Amino acid sequence: MTDVAREVGVTAKTVSRVLNDEGPVAVETRERVMAAVRKLGYQPNLMARNMRVGARDAAIGLVIPEMGNPFFGTVAGGVEGVIRERGLTLIVGSSSENAELEHSLIATFLARRVSALIVVPSAGSDHRRLRAERVAGLPIVFLDRPPVGLTADNVVSANRQGAQIGVAHLIAHGHRRVGFVGDLPAALYTRRERFQGYRDALSLAGLPFDRALVDSGHDQEAAARATLRLLALDDPPTALFAANNLASMGAVLALSRSGRRDVALVGFDDLPLAEALDPPLTVVAQDPAGMAAVAAELVLSRMDGDRSKARRSLVPTRLIVRGSGEVPAPRT
Protein backbone atom coordinates (compact mmCIF):
# COMPACT_ATOMS: atom_id res chain seq x y z
CA MET A 1 0.00 0.00 0.00
CA THR A 2 2.93 2.30 0.74
CA ASP A 3 4.35 1.60 -2.73
CA VAL A 4 1.03 2.54 -4.34
CA ALA A 5 0.87 5.74 -2.28
CA ARG A 6 4.42 6.69 -3.28
CA GLU A 7 3.64 6.03 -6.98
CA VAL A 8 0.59 8.31 -6.89
CA GLY A 9 1.97 10.91 -4.47
CA VAL A 10 -0.73 10.49 -1.83
CA THR A 11 -0.84 9.04 1.69
CA ALA A 12 -1.32 5.36 2.47
CA LYS A 13 -4.55 6.39 4.22
CA THR A 14 -5.90 7.71 0.93
CA VAL A 15 -5.01 4.45 -0.82
CA SER A 16 -6.79 2.56 1.98
CA ARG A 17 -9.92 4.69 1.50
CA VAL A 18 -9.95 3.94 -2.22
CA LEU A 19 -9.42 0.20 -1.84
CA ASN A 20 -11.96 -0.16 0.99
CA ASP A 21 -14.37 2.42 -0.45
CA GLU A 22 -14.33 4.32 2.81
CA GLY A 23 -14.53 8.08 3.08
CA PRO A 24 -14.47 10.84 0.46
CA VAL A 25 -11.81 10.69 -2.28
CA ALA A 26 -11.70 12.82 -5.43
CA VAL A 27 -12.64 10.93 -8.61
CA GLU A 28 -9.32 11.82 -10.27
CA THR A 29 -7.35 10.61 -7.24
CA ARG A 30 -9.34 7.38 -7.14
CA GLU A 31 -8.57 6.71 -10.82
CA ARG A 32 -4.85 7.40 -10.31
CA VAL A 33 -4.73 5.06 -7.29
CA MET A 34 -6.44 2.25 -9.20
CA ALA A 35 -4.10 2.76 -12.16
CA ALA A 36 -1.11 2.42 -9.81
CA VAL A 37 -2.65 -0.70 -8.24
CA ARG A 38 -2.89 -2.29 -11.69
CA LYS A 39 0.58 -1.16 -12.70
CA LEU A 40 2.29 -2.48 -9.55
CA GLY A 41 0.20 -5.65 -9.32
CA TYR A 42 -0.85 -4.82 -5.78
CA GLN A 43 -2.87 -7.49 -3.92
CA PRO A 44 -4.44 -6.62 -0.55
CA ASN A 45 -3.25 -8.84 2.32
CA LEU A 46 -6.61 -9.85 3.78
CA MET A 47 -5.02 -11.79 6.64
CA ALA A 48 -2.99 -8.76 7.71
CA ARG A 49 -6.05 -6.53 7.44
CA ASN A 50 -8.12 -8.89 9.58
CA MET A 51 -5.39 -9.02 12.21
CA ARG A 52 -5.17 -5.21 12.23
CA VAL A 53 -8.89 -4.67 12.75
CA GLY A 54 -9.38 -7.71 14.99
CA ALA A 55 -11.62 -9.56 12.52
CA ARG A 56 -11.60 -13.24 11.59
CA ASP A 57 -10.53 -14.55 8.21
CA ALA A 58 -13.38 -15.36 5.81
CA ALA A 59 -12.26 -18.98 5.74
CA ILE A 60 -13.30 -22.30 7.26
CA GLY A 61 -10.57 -24.73 8.32
CA LEU A 62 -11.19 -28.43 7.57
CA VAL A 63 -8.96 -31.17 9.01
CA ILE A 64 -9.30 -34.62 7.42
CA PRO A 65 -7.30 -37.82 8.09
CA GLU A 66 -6.41 -38.68 4.49
CA MET A 67 -6.34 -36.74 1.22
CA GLY A 68 -6.41 -39.89 -0.94
CA ASN A 69 -9.52 -41.46 0.59
CA PRO A 70 -12.51 -40.78 -1.73
CA PHE A 71 -14.82 -40.47 1.29
CA PHE A 72 -12.95 -37.44 2.65
CA GLY A 73 -12.61 -35.92 -0.81
CA THR A 74 -16.40 -35.98 -1.09
CA VAL A 75 -16.66 -34.48 2.40
CA ALA A 76 -14.38 -31.56 1.43
CA GLY A 77 -16.36 -30.92 -1.76
CA GLY A 78 -19.64 -31.01 0.16
CA VAL A 79 -18.47 -28.48 2.74
CA GLU A 80 -17.07 -26.15 0.09
CA GLY A 81 -20.29 -26.27 -1.93
CA VAL A 82 -22.26 -24.94 1.05
CA ILE A 83 -19.92 -22.28 2.41
CA ARG A 84 -19.02 -20.87 -1.02
CA GLU A 85 -22.54 -19.44 -1.25
CA ARG A 86 -21.73 -17.33 1.80
CA GLY A 87 -18.50 -16.00 0.29
CA LEU A 88 -16.32 -18.18 2.52
CA THR A 89 -13.19 -20.06 1.50
CA LEU A 90 -12.32 -23.63 2.54
CA ILE A 91 -8.79 -24.43 3.74
CA VAL A 92 -8.04 -28.16 3.98
CA GLY A 93 -5.24 -29.99 5.79
CA SER A 94 -4.53 -33.70 6.30
CA SER A 95 -3.57 -35.13 9.68
CA SER A 96 -2.47 -38.49 8.20
CA GLU A 97 -4.30 -40.08 11.17
CA ASN A 98 -1.67 -38.55 13.47
CA ALA A 99 -2.96 -36.83 16.61
CA GLU A 100 0.01 -34.46 16.95
CA LEU A 101 -0.20 -33.41 13.32
CA GLU A 102 -3.93 -32.84 13.75
CA HIS A 103 -3.26 -30.52 16.71
CA SER A 104 -0.55 -28.71 14.72
CA LEU A 105 -2.94 -28.12 11.81
CA ILE A 106 -5.64 -26.84 14.14
CA ALA A 107 -3.12 -24.47 15.74
CA THR A 108 -2.17 -23.18 12.29
CA PHE A 109 -5.81 -22.56 11.39
CA LEU A 110 -6.43 -20.80 14.70
CA ALA A 111 -3.33 -18.63 14.20
CA ARG A 112 -4.72 -17.34 10.91
CA ARG A 113 -8.04 -16.67 12.69
CA VAL A 114 -10.36 -18.84 10.63
CA SER A 115 -14.06 -18.19 11.14
CA ALA A 116 -14.80 -21.80 12.07
CA LEU A 117 -13.30 -25.29 12.32
CA ILE A 118 -14.57 -28.62 10.97
CA VAL A 119 -12.49 -31.55 12.22
CA VAL A 120 -12.47 -35.25 11.37
CA PRO A 121 -10.58 -36.49 14.45
CA SER A 122 -7.57 -38.75 14.03
CA ALA A 123 -7.18 -41.88 16.11
CA GLY A 124 -5.99 -41.12 19.62
CA SER A 125 -6.54 -37.36 19.50
CA ASP A 126 -7.68 -35.35 22.52
CA HIS A 127 -9.60 -32.12 22.02
CA ARG A 128 -9.59 -30.64 25.53
CA ARG A 129 -7.15 -27.97 24.40
CA LEU A 130 -9.96 -26.50 22.23
CA ARG A 131 -12.16 -25.72 25.23
CA ALA A 132 -11.01 -22.09 25.40
CA GLU A 133 -11.80 -21.53 21.71
CA ARG A 134 -15.17 -23.22 22.13
CA VAL A 135 -16.03 -21.07 25.17
CA ALA A 136 -14.92 -17.96 23.27
CA GLY A 137 -17.57 -18.75 20.65
CA LEU A 138 -15.54 -20.18 17.77
CA PRO A 139 -17.83 -22.57 15.81
CA ILE A 140 -16.28 -26.05 15.96
CA VAL A 141 -17.97 -29.07 14.38
CA PHE A 142 -16.59 -32.61 14.41
CA LEU A 143 -17.38 -34.80 11.43
CA ASP A 144 -17.53 -38.60 11.00
CA ARG A 145 -16.11 -39.14 14.50
CA PRO A 146 -17.02 -37.36 17.76
CA PRO A 147 -14.52 -35.29 19.77
CA VAL A 148 -12.64 -36.63 22.79
CA GLY A 149 -12.58 -34.58 25.99
CA LEU A 150 -14.75 -31.81 24.56
CA THR A 151 -18.49 -31.21 24.29
CA ALA A 152 -19.09 -29.91 20.76
CA ASP A 153 -21.32 -30.35 17.72
CA ASN A 154 -20.66 -33.54 15.77
CA VAL A 155 -22.09 -35.16 12.66
CA VAL A 156 -21.73 -38.94 12.30
CA SER A 157 -23.16 -41.80 10.26
CA ALA A 158 -25.47 -44.44 11.69
CA ASN A 159 -22.45 -46.76 11.80
CA ARG A 160 -23.70 -49.40 14.21
CA GLN A 161 -27.14 -49.71 12.67
CA GLY A 162 -25.74 -49.77 9.13
CA ALA A 163 -23.24 -52.51 9.95
CA GLN A 164 -25.95 -54.57 11.65
CA ILE A 165 -28.14 -54.32 8.54
CA GLY A 166 -25.25 -55.30 6.25
CA VAL A 167 -24.30 -58.38 8.28
CA ALA A 168 -27.95 -59.36 8.73
CA HIS A 169 -28.24 -59.29 4.93
CA LEU A 170 -25.46 -61.90 4.66
CA ILE A 171 -27.05 -64.03 7.38
CA ALA A 172 -30.38 -63.87 5.54
CA HIS A 173 -28.69 -65.55 2.56
CA GLY A 174 -27.77 -68.55 4.69
CA HIS A 175 -24.30 -67.60 5.92
CA ARG A 176 -23.37 -68.70 9.43
CA ARG A 177 -19.63 -67.99 9.27
CA VAL A 178 -19.30 -64.25 8.55
CA GLY A 179 -15.84 -62.71 8.66
CA PHE A 180 -15.14 -59.10 9.69
CA VAL A 181 -12.37 -57.07 8.00
CA GLY A 182 -11.95 -53.82 9.94
CA ASP A 183 -9.84 -50.70 10.03
CA LEU A 184 -6.95 -49.95 12.38
CA PRO A 185 -6.55 -48.97 15.11
CA ALA A 186 -9.28 -51.06 16.70
CA ALA A 187 -10.08 -48.19 19.08
CA LEU A 188 -11.12 -45.91 16.19
CA TYR A 189 -14.69 -44.71 16.73
CA THR A 190 -16.07 -45.82 13.35
CA ARG A 191 -14.35 -49.19 13.62
CA ARG A 192 -15.74 -49.77 17.12
CA GLU A 193 -19.27 -48.83 16.09
CA ARG A 194 -19.29 -51.02 12.99
CA PHE A 195 -17.76 -53.93 14.87
CA GLN A 196 -20.51 -53.62 17.45
CA GLY A 197 -23.09 -53.65 14.65
CA TYR A 198 -21.48 -56.83 13.35
CA ARG A 199 -21.82 -58.43 16.76
CA ASP A 200 -25.40 -57.18 17.11
CA ALA A 201 -26.37 -58.97 13.88
CA LEU A 202 -24.79 -62.24 15.06
CA SER A 203 -26.53 -62.00 18.42
CA LEU A 204 -29.94 -61.25 16.89
CA ALA A 205 -29.54 -64.29 14.62
CA GLY A 206 -28.51 -66.52 17.51
CA LEU A 207 -25.03 -67.06 16.05
CA PRO A 208 -21.92 -67.33 18.26
CA PHE A 209 -19.17 -64.74 18.04
CA ASP A 210 -15.87 -66.23 16.90
CA ARG A 211 -12.79 -64.04 17.42
CA ALA A 212 -10.96 -66.04 14.73
CA LEU A 213 -13.26 -64.51 12.11
CA VAL A 214 -12.07 -60.94 12.88
CA ASP A 215 -9.06 -59.34 11.17
CA SER A 216 -7.96 -55.84 10.25
CA GLY A 217 -5.90 -53.69 7.89
CA HIS A 218 -5.65 -49.92 7.54
CA ASP A 219 -5.02 -49.77 3.80
CA GLN A 220 -6.04 -51.73 0.72
CA GLU A 221 -3.11 -54.16 0.68
CA ALA A 222 -3.27 -54.79 4.42
CA ALA A 223 -6.99 -55.50 4.12
CA ALA A 224 -6.28 -57.91 1.25
CA ARG A 225 -3.80 -59.79 3.43
CA ALA A 226 -6.31 -59.87 6.29
CA THR A 227 -8.93 -61.32 3.91
CA LEU A 228 -6.56 -64.05 2.75
CA ARG A 229 -5.77 -64.95 6.36
CA LEU A 230 -9.47 -65.40 7.07
CA LEU A 231 -9.99 -67.52 3.97
CA ALA A 232 -7.05 -69.75 4.99
CA LEU A 233 -8.64 -70.75 8.33
CA ASP A 234 -9.47 -74.41 8.91
CA ASP A 235 -13.11 -73.36 9.21
CA PRO A 236 -13.16 -70.23 7.00
CA PRO A 237 -15.97 -67.72 6.62
CA THR A 238 -18.39 -68.14 3.72
CA ALA A 239 -19.15 -64.40 3.77
CA LEU A 240 -17.25 -61.21 4.59
CA PHE A 241 -18.24 -57.85 5.97
CA ALA A 242 -15.66 -55.17 5.07
CA ALA A 243 -15.99 -52.27 7.49
CA ASN A 244 -14.85 -49.35 5.27
CA ASN A 245 -14.09 -48.55 1.62
CA LEU A 246 -10.39 -49.49 1.80
CA ALA A 247 -11.26 -52.78 3.49
CA SER A 248 -13.80 -53.43 0.73
CA MET A 249 -11.22 -52.81 -1.98
CA GLY A 250 -8.75 -55.08 -0.20
CA ALA A 251 -11.35 -57.85 0.11
CA VAL A 252 -12.24 -57.55 -3.58
CA LEU A 253 -8.55 -57.79 -4.49
CA ALA A 254 -8.02 -60.86 -2.30
CA LEU A 255 -11.06 -62.67 -3.68
CA SER A 256 -10.00 -61.86 -7.24
CA ARG A 257 -6.39 -62.94 -6.73
CA SER A 258 -7.47 -66.24 -5.19
CA GLY A 259 -10.14 -66.86 -7.81
CA ARG A 260 -12.88 -67.10 -5.19
CA ARG A 261 -16.39 -66.37 -6.43
CA ASP A 262 -18.16 -68.41 -3.76
CA VAL A 263 -17.63 -65.93 -0.90
CA ALA A 264 -20.31 -63.30 -0.30
CA LEU A 265 -19.16 -59.75 0.42
CA VAL A 266 -20.86 -56.65 1.81
CA GLY A 267 -18.82 -53.47 2.22
CA PHE A 268 -19.37 -50.39 4.38
CA ASP A 269 -18.97 -47.28 2.16
CA ASP A 270 -19.73 -47.19 -1.52
CA LEU A 271 -16.99 -47.27 -4.17
CA PRO A 272 -16.85 -45.27 -7.43
CA LEU A 273 -16.79 -48.40 -9.65
CA ALA A 274 -18.70 -50.78 -7.38
CA GLU A 275 -21.21 -51.58 -10.13
CA ALA A 276 -18.42 -52.47 -12.57
CA LEU A 277 -17.01 -55.26 -10.39
CA ASP A 278 -17.86 -58.90 -11.03
CA PRO A 279 -20.09 -59.46 -9.18
CA PRO A 280 -21.10 -55.85 -8.48
CA LEU A 281 -20.42 -54.87 -4.88
CA THR A 282 -23.27 -54.79 -2.36
CA VAL A 283 -22.64 -52.00 0.15
CA VAL A 284 -23.95 -50.17 3.15
CA ALA A 285 -23.64 -46.69 1.70
CA GLN A 286 -22.87 -43.64 3.77
CA ASP A 287 -23.80 -40.15 2.63
CA PRO A 288 -20.54 -38.17 2.87
CA ALA A 289 -21.93 -35.25 0.86
CA GLY A 290 -24.99 -35.15 3.12
CA MET A 291 -22.83 -35.31 6.24
CA ALA A 292 -20.68 -32.47 4.90
CA ALA A 293 -23.74 -30.35 4.15
CA VAL A 294 -25.14 -30.90 7.67
CA ALA A 295 -21.77 -29.96 9.22
CA ALA A 296 -21.39 -26.86 7.02
CA GLU A 297 -24.95 -25.67 7.73
CA LEU A 298 -24.34 -26.19 11.44
CA VAL A 299 -21.17 -24.09 11.24
CA LEU A 300 -23.02 -21.29 9.44
CA SER A 301 -25.80 -21.42 12.01
CA ARG A 302 -23.26 -21.03 14.82
CA MET A 303 -21.59 -18.16 12.95
CA ASP A 304 -25.00 -16.49 12.70
CA GLY A 305 -25.40 -16.55 16.46
CA ASP A 306 -26.95 -19.92 17.34
CA ARG A 307 -25.89 -20.53 20.96
CA SER A 308 -27.98 -23.63 21.66
CA LYS A 309 -26.45 -26.70 23.32
CA ALA A 310 -24.00 -28.84 21.39
CA ARG A 311 -25.76 -31.58 19.48
CA ARG A 312 -25.09 -34.77 17.56
CA SER A 313 -26.56 -35.22 14.08
CA LEU A 314 -26.95 -38.84 12.99
CA VAL A 315 -26.97 -39.32 9.21
CA PRO A 316 -28.63 -42.58 8.05
CA THR A 317 -27.02 -45.19 5.82
CA ARG A 318 -28.70 -47.40 3.20
CA LEU A 319 -28.14 -50.90 1.89
CA ILE A 320 -27.49 -51.04 -1.87
CA VAL A 321 -28.01 -54.56 -3.22
CA ARG A 322 -25.90 -55.31 -6.30
CA GLY A 323 -24.86 -58.96 -6.26
CA SER A 324 -21.79 -59.69 -4.14
CA GLY A 325 -23.78 -59.81 -0.93
CA GLU A 326 -26.33 -62.19 -2.39
CA VAL A 327 -23.95 -65.07 -3.10
CA PRO A 328 -25.70 -67.96 -1.29
CA ALA A 329 -24.05 -69.93 1.46
CA PRO A 330 -22.76 -73.33 0.32
CA ARG A 331 -24.94 -76.28 1.14
CA THR A 332 -23.71 -78.44 4.00
Instruction: Evaluate if pTM is beyond 0.85.
Output: no
**Cα–Cα distance for residue pair 332/329, rounded to 1 Å:** 9
Strand 239-242 versus strand 264-268 pairing type: parallel
Residues 6+ apart with CB under 8 A from 279: 261, 322, 323, 324, 327
Angle, vertex CA 70, rays to CA 84 and CA 323, nearest 5: 125
Q: Once rounded to an integer, what is the mean pLDDT over residues 1-17?
A: 88
For residue 42, what are the β-bridge partners?
Answer: none
Query: Quick one: pLDDT at residue 45?
Result: 61
If pLDDT is split at 50, 70 and 90, which confidence band does 74 have?
very high
Res 53: pLDDT:
47
Average pLDDT of the residues in 61-87: 93
Distance CA 1, CA 37 (A): 9
Q: What does the pLDDT average to over 251-259?
A: 95
pLDDT band per the 50, 70, 90 thresholds, residue 41:
confident
Tell me what pLDDT residue 112 has.
87
Report the alpha-carbon distance of residue 274 to residue 52 in Å, rounded.
Answer: 51
As a whole number of angstroms, the distance between CA 304 and CA 306 comes to: 6
Beta strands 214-216 and 178-182 are parallel
List helix spans (H) across 84-142.
Answer: 99-111, 131-135
